[in-house]
Amino acid sequence: MKCTRLVDAGRRQFLRGSGVAAVGAAAAATVGAPAQAAPALARVAYPATRLANIADLTVNEPMDIAYPDADSPGVLLKLGQPVQGGVGPDGDVVAFSVLCPHKGWMLSYNGGDKTLNCPGHHSRFDCEAGGQQVWGHATQNLPQFALRVDDKGDIHADGVDELIYGRLSNVL
Amino acid sequence: MAFKRQVDRLPIIPADATEHNVTCHYCIVGCGYKAYTWPMNRQGGAAAGQNAFGVNLGEQQPTETEAWYAPSMYNIVRQNGRDVHLVVKPDTNCVVNGGLGSIRGARMAENRPSRVTNTQSQRLTDPLVWRNGVWQPSSWDDALDLVARVTARVVTEGSEDDLVVSMFDHGGSAGGYENTWATGKLYFQSMKIKNCRIHNRPAYNSEVHSTRDMGVGELNNAYVDYQLTDTIFMLGANSMETQTNLYLNHMVKGLQNGARMVVVDPRRTLTVASSEQFAGAENVLHLAINEGTDLALCNALLTEIVDKGWIDRDFIAASTFPEGVAVAEDEAHPASLGSLEHAMQACRMSLDEAAAICGVDAADIAKAAAWIAEPRADGSRRKCATAYEKGIIWGNDNYRTVGAIVNIALATGNVGREGGGVCRLGGHQEGYYRPADGHVGRPAEYVDQFLIRGLGGVHHIWACDHYKTTLNASEFKRVHKRRSDMVKEAIDAAAGGTREQVVDAIVSAINAGGLFVVDVDIIHSQIGQNAHVILPACESNEMNLTSMNGERRLRLSERYMDPFGNSRPDCLIAAGMAQHMERVLRDMGHADYADQFKGYDWTTEEDAFMDGYHQGNPEVTYDRLRAMGNNGVQEPVTGFADGKLVGVERLYADGAFDRHGRDDKKALFCAAGWRGWQAPGKAREQAAHRFWVNNVRANIFWQNQFLDQKNDFIQDRYPHPFVEMHPDDMVELGLNPGDLLEIVNDNGVTQGMAYPLPTIRRNTVAMVFGSPAGSQGNVVNPGVNELVLPDYKHCWGEIRKIADATEQTAKVSFKSHEAVL
């Protein structure tokens, strides 16, 4: 796993404003700040994690990442044309969990039609359609990581839109 | 964007949550699940001692873990009057599915009705009675009184033949032994109704008459046979989509154990594609025959097997009819039955003849015959497990084609033996226990045509929706609506009248050609739009329900939540109907007839089970089934020993065949001569239109589409029924992916959404069957076989564009369904 990833909770809190300050504070807690007696939160607090820089990406070449932590493998993709939910100057950068939400097999990327495919039971997910399950056994579409690109071109993940396989809380 | 639930964590099942046995009620396979319920104000914790799995949930769990459940497996439901947490997850200890969940069953929790989460708010809660121009919620007594009064008037002033009944006869979702018994007792014992039909076809008949007539019950092997076999021979079936965990947990293991696979299907199905991945393409032989030619192919296979001497002479001598004709061809038998020699006189077909008819290479037919029947190097029997489903059952010449398939299994001794079997794969589970139905007759009445002809006065419908699952549906809908509207107008005109006056008005409208419609269902269905009384039923797990799966595995799926609103189990609705019939008939002065409706004093579904199934199977009780858990017992149940029910792994292991009821216990071969298109109108329609409109099923909502019409995850994927087409055909017709199109022929019109599929043949489309948003049956002609089995699969039409892709369909993925690894 990559060791250069940064948990950038402070910057994330700054960028997203006071409305999510509590979430940001909780995220800070995940990186070692002393826990304070505070009301439990209704949502898990996602870390903000630097995944890569735009310059590191090649069109249709998947990059291995992990988010929200090292035990949750994912893929970062520059698809080459704008897609819904895509970020970056070309609106084409997306990231997904690669644990199949059916039984947790590791998905493999097929650059031919930009899908993630499961070797276990042949489910497949469309990276150009928000991880929609094209066909398969999972009862949810593929968890997609919310991305943000800063003015240096650094790509940060700071959220997930579905439950990741193998954990009953996306942040452990 | 694709639909996302935005769930970032789920309540954890506490260590002391209540555990319930669940058999998925959607499809034939009947996967085992476990339901966990616990109070709202409690939750488990991540520490190993605080959750039901006994593991540290603070860590990422591994592939295939038991200790995870998806958001679709969670809900909040009502149990004994209180809201509780619910998780329904696959059971790793069930031998059927081994912990695998399907895209259907793993959404059972989410597809439960909940006042808290608002899932399945389409579920009916109260009886509805047509009054004042709308459906008014009412009490059970009020609704059942009206049903009984009108029904009693019609059957006493006319006859019981004026009561038409459409009723489930299966297990699982709707049906089950409790409910088939109750409806059977009502209509076949208290009454003798003969104008009845089953949920998916227009008559009350078997889908597989010929195999039964030949002595071979259609669910004769065990799922493990697919793991033990040398060859899986599949015809007109697509198990990766429609018996998913039978395929993944058994057939794939067989392929990985070295089995080869022969698939007969005009379409390259996902079963073909996945089997090539699992077994290697060199071990999968796909015979992409012309539509409707399975019989010719099977006869050529049998001929090749006989001529090569690959038959099992000992088995044939010991277990099959020795010489000549046992059953002559007649109105009830579309082919004669007898010895192998007799059958061969009709079945003989050369490889070249079949190749010309089927459009496949003679060499490939020969290869298939060798894969199916050539003895192994040591001379021992090649084990072959044969499986077929709707491509055959709803195909051309049902009786003879099923017979021709069974011929091959009998000739090669592949019935009743390890790694063998010749089986219908099935749709729903089974759960048939009813009084004798001989009075229905054979051939049975073609009930949908009976209604179209203006016959019958009252129509009781139990969990059937002809709007989605009949043929000639366009005409059926027009007539059914017109006739039921006559009664609605009569009720409206009698507004303000007494019950007696309203009943008089209804009966007058019936006598003028109207139809009084009673619909028992869990949702307000499409045919329910024509109903005058709607009675809300509940589903499996809102009641206890027993059913058996495709290997005859009987389980008790336990109640873990309350029926929604005031809905009831079908068996108790039938009991209420009978009790009201008794009272009304007695009031009318028909005391003897009223007495026939005694014997329904049940208060629970278990009472109905004990009154019916238990009487014929005295070893079987709820307590014993509960103890057998999700692995249950394979029927027939032969005893009870050491605290366990004893069953039968595979039928006919002793070589004695009894499904036909013959004393000699000899299996019969079918003289299944090829005769081209059997059903009327097919050849003409084929010649007149460009596109063959195949109807197909889809993994995602097969067997639960009625619920999924209100499920966001599903509607996001397929907002309209898909129509798979070759991209070049789409270009010619000016269609883009997601465009709305209509299919038109002389029978009617239906609509769907264009989905490009490069692997489909030109001038062929594959439209999903049974969609609420576009009924494929609209364009299927009325043609049936001699025993009124519909040929849904053969329909031809023209295609034209209706509209550009909608905002919704434009966002759908239109990529190939085949995994690329």
**Percentage above 70 pLDDT, chain A:** 79
Average pLDDT, chain A: 85
A25-71 residue pLDDT tens:
333 334 444 556 788 899 999 999 999 999 999 999 999 999 999 99
Residue A53 in contact with partner chain B when CB distance is under 8 A? no
Cβ pair A128:B813 closer than 8 A: yes
Neighbours of A169 (CB within 10 A): 16
Chain B residue with minimum CA distance to A111: B820
The pTM is what? 0.95
Token pair recorded at residue B304: 């090749």
Token pair recorded at residue B444: 């049975």
- Backbone CA torsion sign across B467, B470, B473, B475: negative
The ipTM value here is: 0.96
List chain B residues with pLDDT less than 50.
Answer: none
By Cβ distance, the residue of B12, B73, B811 closest to A129 is B811
By Cβ distance, the residue of B57, B812, B815 closest to A113 is B815
3-state secondary structure chain A: CCCCCCECHHHHHHHHCHHHHHHHHHHHHHCCCCCCCCCCCCCCCCCCEEEEEHHHCCCCCCEEEECCCCCCEEEEEECCCCCCCCECCCCCEEEEECECCCCCCECEEECCCCEEECCCCCCEEECCCCCEEEECCCCCCCCEEEEEECCCCEEEEEEECCCCCCCCECCC
Q: Which amino acid would we find at residue B21?
A: N
Chain A residue with minimum CA distance to B6: A161
- Backbone CA torsion sign across B139, B142, B146, B149: positive
Residues of B with CB below 8 A from A172's CB? 58-60
Supply the pLDDT for residue B773. 85
Supply the pLDDT for residue B781. 97
Chain B residue with minimum CA distance to A131: B2
Are B640 and B375 a contacting pair, CB within 8 Å? no
Cβ pair B821:A119 closer than 8 A: yes
Q: Where are the beta strands (DSSP E) in B54-127?
A: 74-79, 82-90
How many whole angstroms separate alpha carbon B374 and alpha carbon B377? 9
Cβ pair B102:A137 closer than 8 A: yes
Are B747 and B810 a contacting pair, CB within 8 Å? no
Give B700 to chain A, closest Cα distance, Å.
8
Supply the pLDDT for residue A37. 73
In sequence order, the β-bridge partners of residue B534 are: B128, B519
The catalytic residue positions of A are: 102, 121
Length in residues, chain B: 821
Supply the pLDDT for residue B158. 98
Mean pLDDT for A117-134 is: 98
Cβ pair A134:B813 closer than 8 A: yes
Cβ pair B717:A122 closer than 8 A: no
Instruction: Reply yes or no on whether the pLDDT at A4 is more than 60.
Output: no
Give DSSP secondary structure letters for B712-763. Answer: HHHHHH-SS-EEEE-HHHHHHTT--TT-EEEEEETTEEEEEEEEE-TTSPTT
Q: What is the Cα Rg of chain A in Å?
A: 16
Instruction: Reply yes or no on whether the pLDDT at A6 is more than 90.
Output: no
Alpha helices in B588-659 (DSSP H): 591-595, 605-611, 613-616, 622-628
Chain A residue with minimum CA distance to B100: A103
Q: Which amino acid would we find at residue B113?
A: P
**Residue B45 has what DSSP assignment?**
-
How many whole angstroms separate alpha carbon B91 and alpha carbon B69? 11
Token pair recorded at residue B801: 């564009």
Q: How many CA atoms lie within 13 A of B218 on its CB side?
A: 22
**Cis peptide upstream of residue B636 (ω within 30 degrees of 0):** yes
Instruction: Reply yes or no on whether the pLDDT at A7 is more than 80.
Output: no
User: Where residue A22 falls among pLDDT bands split at 50, 70, 90?
Assistant: very low
Q: Which amino acid would we find at residue B259?
A: A
Cβ pair A140:B813 closer than 8 A: no
Q: Which of B26, B43, B60 to mutate to test the interface with A (most CBs of A within 10 A)?
A: B60
Cβ pair A162:B71 closer than 8 A: yes
Residue A41 in contact with partner chain B when CB distance is under 8 A? no
Give A128 to chain B, closest Cα distance, Å.
8
Residue B331, burial from CB neighbour count under 10 angstroms (0-12, 13-18, 19+): exposed
